[in-house]
Structure 1
Amino acid sequence: MGSDYPPSLRCGLPGLILSLETAFILIFWFCFSNESGSTPKDLDIYPAFQDVNVLVILGFGFLLAFLKRYGFSSTGFNLLIAALGVQWAVLVEGFLFSSSAGKMKISLHSILKASISVTAVLISAGALLGKANPIQLIWMAMVEVAAFVTSRWINVKFLKVEEHTSLMHVPIFGTYFGLAVSWWLYHSSLSEKVEKEKSNPISDLFSMLGALFVWMFWPSFNSVLIVDLMERRNAICNTYYAIAVSAVAAFALSSLSSRNGKIRMTYLNSVLKIHDTCGVHYMFGLPGLLGAIVNVILFIIIKRANLSGLGYLALIEVGSFMLTTAIGLGTGFITGFILTFKLWKTLPASKYFDDQAYWEFPHLAYRL
């Protein structure tokens, strides 16, 4: 019978973080140049960059803070994997997408693309919330970022999908990668919610605050990489219309699905043996798939006047998001299997959803 005490991360976590940072610094020093990092054109995107940064750090950090005993870990680990993931994403993006000779250039634009890419990891972390320790999350982030950027590279280089479109597959990839990992971390004790997995009014309020941040800045997230001004304007407006309608419909469906007609923070429970703590399948996965399908339909309608080659182009659009989904599921399945090994110092199920497994609480030190 295993111990109910969480394993110590005193050596493993600092060693992993310091090793990664040392490797990142050396790679940046020898392989990258910052010569074009402060041009006026680059700085023009800083307001939009800040919008994306607020969504990634504040939005997702608070969105995942709904568990009443896991708020520190939700926000803290979100910052940890986002900060490490962005650095790694810049490196992978540079090696795969940069074709210029000599040192690769780093700019605000490359950091912006990396921030969007790392959103996939934050979505996946929602499915694993409370069940994975920081070491597992960091390794998952390294694998997932590399896999997502590789899937984008395949889409852009071979299927000739626009780079902006390939980045908008991030909710699909993050969801199904996370669900595949979560399948391996499923425990029979999770079939019914335990006390520590529940929320309270304060934690729900923080989670709602995160949802509002995501809601406010999602139009910037969807449009920031579009070059054409008219297309960017359309993307902003269409995204706003879509999320506005979705928000109103959510209130209606929540009231309709409740026996007493009251509005609830959650609904639509999973029926598979996949413990999706944050419900990312309904929050990001299904909307992402629906958006991809609608994009194909609209593409056909818009291009119907030019029938020559329309079927091939539509097939490319369908193949793009299906390839993204397949790579997400496949790499997530392999990653989840690897994360079940004992070397990751996996938490016992009795310590799931509990900040005290990782954080010091001085006011509890003398409690009997």
Structure 2
Amino acid sequence: MSIAFLPSLRCQLPVLLFLLQGAFIAVFNLFFTFEDPSTHFDTSNATTTAEGLDDLENIFPFFKDVHIMLFAGLGLMLSFLKLYGFGGIAVNFLIANFAIQWSMVVQGFFYHFRHGVIVLKLRNVLEAEFAGVTALISAGAVLGRTSPVQLLLLTAVEIPLFVVNDWLINEYFHIIDVGGTVAIHIFSCYFGLGVAQILYRPSLRKRHLKEVTTSNTDLLSLLGTIFLWIFWPSFNSVLAKTREAQHRAIVNTFLALSSGTITTFAMSSLIDKQGRLSLVHLQNASLAGGVAVGVSADLISPGGAFTIGCLASISCSLGFQYLSPFLAKKIKVQDQCGIHNLHGLPGIIGTVGSIVVILLGPVDTFGLSLHETLYHDGLEGQQPTLGLFGNRETWTAQRQALHQAAALGVTFGVSLFGGYITGLLMRFPCFVHPSKDDFFDDQLYFQVPEDSGTKWISNEELQKHLLVPLKHI
């Protein structure tokens, strides 16, 4: 029995990719440059050169770490399905590249368009990678159930919405969020859940026969988790505004990850009736502390980071055990990779924790007040930015706590609404749609070697050989 290939895939995917690359070639040639035109009025461009060297020295080490997280860590983490390992890694590779390119264009015109050009710096590329992460996380909610063409559409819609939401919560609400807990994790989570709810398939109320894992795929996924675990302090600290804040963010992220990992082992053994450890929990809950602590990693005390890491891992473990089945059954949200447990729940815990720290914490204990962190200008003589709740002269801890809560609400609304709209667009019949029998199968999209162990077999044969239960990451 042979698999039924989609003839439109051969037309849509290469044509779409060539059109996108052609458009980006034109945009980059017309608008992107390394030289700031404003320096033409100076006798020297030494300032621009110095800024570039500063980026190379201060940002490039973190840039490499984030690179490994996106392409190696996330890719391996998504390779947990026996028959969709190529799709987990290779499609992640495709979407990550497109997301970064598209983010550079959108952010460039939104933030950096001056004198008819966009001055490209290493920091701009890094910011584009942060934007690209949102698409990769959201795609995890519908992993294996959508075509690459549909995921490209998801990315194309999500990136501009992310940029607008990021601008809103930073320029109008002045949120404290050094590691992108609200801007990245919560936004991408509920955007992905919105898409997943629109693409709900009643036929998947019970586990699909191809949603199986093996010991090798679980090991690869756990290896991806460890890559992410190792480099997460760079992700949470690179955008800190001072060296002191960056130092605190690195240490606090490690503490949250470490405490969360130990808690994950304890929770996993406690949840299982026979006290066995679940790779689902290890692959996810061990990272939950890094998500939760990101919002206040540069401000809280070591004890606070330790506590947040423990609470985040507990919520993630319990989410996989109880909340995911509830969402699938009652809310009709099939969250394939459990992004709500890893990104949504810890993100909410971290944001609530930041509000508690702002209201109750001794904000000047570590030598950098919330006030100065929030309004650090970087340019001498720059005017204070006005927001919906006032300016630096009227700043109070209570106002900042309100900022945090308002930004969380806005992000939740924008991401969920955007996910619903994107899901409706992805359902249009003009796009490639895999049939339910072809879900979680590499052979629809890849040339699969005969001896790879991922060769397509019938549902009847799969049912006979079904040895391992479904794993979520």
- Give TM-score, length-normalised by structure 1: 0.93
Q: Cα deviation per residue 1:276-333 (whole Å; 9 max; x = unaligned)?
A: 1111111111111111111121122247899973322211111112211211101001
- Contact 1:117 / 1:167 at 8 angstroms: preserved in 2? no
Q: Cα deviation per residue 1:343-367 (whole Å; 9 max; x = unaligned)?
A: 1121110100000110112427999
Q: Distance in 1 between matches of 2:138 and 2:154?
A: 9
- Contact 2:32 / 2:119 at 8 angstroms: preserved in 1? yes
Q: Cα deviation per residue 1:94-117 (whole Å; 9 max; x = unaligned)?
A: 111126333111111100111111
Does the residue aligned with 1:195 lie in a helix, a strand or coil?
coil
1:294 to 326, 349, 353: 353
Cα–Cα, structure 1 residues 304 and 60, in superposed 2: closer, same or farther, change >3 Å? closer
Amino acid at match of 1:7: L
Q: Distance in 2 between matches of 1:298 and 1:366?
A: 53
Q: Distance in 1 between matches of 2:240 and 2:457?
A: 55
Q: Map of 1:151-166 to 2, 5 A cutoff?
A: 151-161=165-175, 164=178
Q: Distance in 2 between matches of 1:114 and 1:167?
A: 16
Q: Distance in 2 between matches of 1:85 and 1:285?
A: 21
Instruction: Tell which deviates more after alignment, 84-93 or 270-279.
Output: 270-279
1:200 to 208, 214, 220: 214
Cα–Cα, structure 1 residues 362 and 112, in superposed 2: closer, same or farther, change >3 Å? same
2:249 to 228, 235, 247: 235
- Contact 2:175 / 2:400 at 8 angstroms: preserved in 1? no
Q: Which runs of 5+ in 2 are unaligned?
A: 36-47, 281-319, 365-370, 372-393, 459-473
Aligned to 2:325: 270
Aligned to 2:6: 7
Residue 329 (1) aligns with residue 416 (2): yes
Residue 121 (1) aligns with residue 180 (2): no
Instruction: Tell which deviates more after alignment, 98-107 or 288-297.
Output: 98-107
Aligned to 2:432: 345
Q: Distance in 2 between matches of 1:110 and 1:163?
A: 18
Cα–Cα, structure 1 residues 259 and 166, in superposed 2: closer, same or farther, change >3 Å? closer
Cα–Cα, structure 1 residues 167 and 93, in superposed 2: closer, same or farther, change >3 Å? farther
Aligned to 1:54: 68
- Contact 1:156 / 1:166 at 8 angstroms: preserved in 2? no
Q: Distance in 2 between matches of 1:125 and 1:366?
A: 24
Instruction: Tell which deviates more after alignment, 206-215 or 265-274.
Output: 265-274
Cα–Cα, structure 1 residues 236 and 104, in superposed 2: closer, same or farther, change >3 Å? same
Amino acid at match of 2:325: S
Aligned to 1:358: 445
- Contact 2:358 / 2:397 at 8 angstroms: preserved in 1? no
Residue 25 (1) aligns with residue 44 (2): no
Q: Which runs of 5+ in 1 are unaligned?
A: none
Does the residue aligned with 1:174 lie in a helix, a strand or coil?
helix
Instruction: Tell which deviates more after alignment, 256-265 or 129-138.
Output: 256-265
Aligned to 1:40: 53
Aligned to 1:145: 159
- Contact 2:443 / 2:456 at 8 angstroms: preserved in 1? no
- Contact 2:180 / 2:236 at 8 angstroms: preserved in 1? no
Q: Cα deviation per residue 1:149-193 (whole Å; 9 max; x = unaligned)?
A: 110111222223368465752011111111110111121221121
Give the CA RMSD over aligned residues.
2.3
Residue 256 (1) aligns with residue 270 (2): yes
- Contact 1:32 / 1:103 at 8 angstroms: preserved in 2? yes
- Contact 1:155 / 1:166 at 8 angstroms: preserved in 2? no
Does the residue aligned with 2:419 lie in a helix, a strand or coil?
helix
Instruction: Tell which deviates more after alignment, 329-338 or 356-365.
Output: 356-365
Q: Distance in 2 between matches of 1:239 and 1:170?
A: 16
Does the residue aligned with 2:210 lie in a helix, a strand or coil?
helix
Cα–Cα, structure 1 residues 56 and 318, in superposed 2: closer, same or farther, change >3 Å? same
Amino acid at match of 2:55: D
Bigger radius of gyration, 1 or 2?
2
Instruction: Tell which deviates more after alignment, 53-62 or 313-322.
Output: 313-322
- Contact 1:6 / 1:348 at 8 angstroms: preserved in 2? no
- Contact 1:66 / 1:207 at 8 angstroms: preserved in 2? yes
Cα–Cα, structure 1 residues 262 and 136, in superposed 2: closer, same or farther, change >3 Å? same
Q: Distance in 2 between matches of 1:67 and 1:323?
A: 35
Cα–Cα, structure 1 residues 17 and 308, in superposed 2: closer, same or farther, change >3 Å? closer
Q: Please state how far the C-alpha of 1:32 moved relative to its aligned partner.
A: 1.7
Q: Distance in 2 between matches of 1:76 and 1:366?
A: 18
Q: Distance in 1 between matches of 2:406 and 2:25?
A: 37
Q: Cα deviation per residue 1:66-123 (whole Å; 9 max; x = unaligned)?
A: 0011000100000101001001101111111126333111111100111111111111
Q: Distance in 2 between matches of 1:180 and 1:117?
A: 18
Report 1 or 2 for greater relative contact order, CA contacts < 8 Å, sequence distance ≥ 6. 1
Amino acid at match of 1:145: I
Q: Please state how far the C-alpha of 1:226 moved relative to its aligned partner.
A: 1.2
Instruction: Tell which deviates more after alignment, 291-300 or 91-100.
Output: 91-100
Q: Cα deviation per residue 1:183-233 (whole Å; 9 max; x = unaligned)?
A: 111212211212211111000001001111111111100101113011001
- Contact 1:152 / 1:166 at 8 angstroms: preserved in 2? no
Aligned to 1:280: 339
Q: Distance in 1 between matches of 2:87 and 2:417?
A: 28
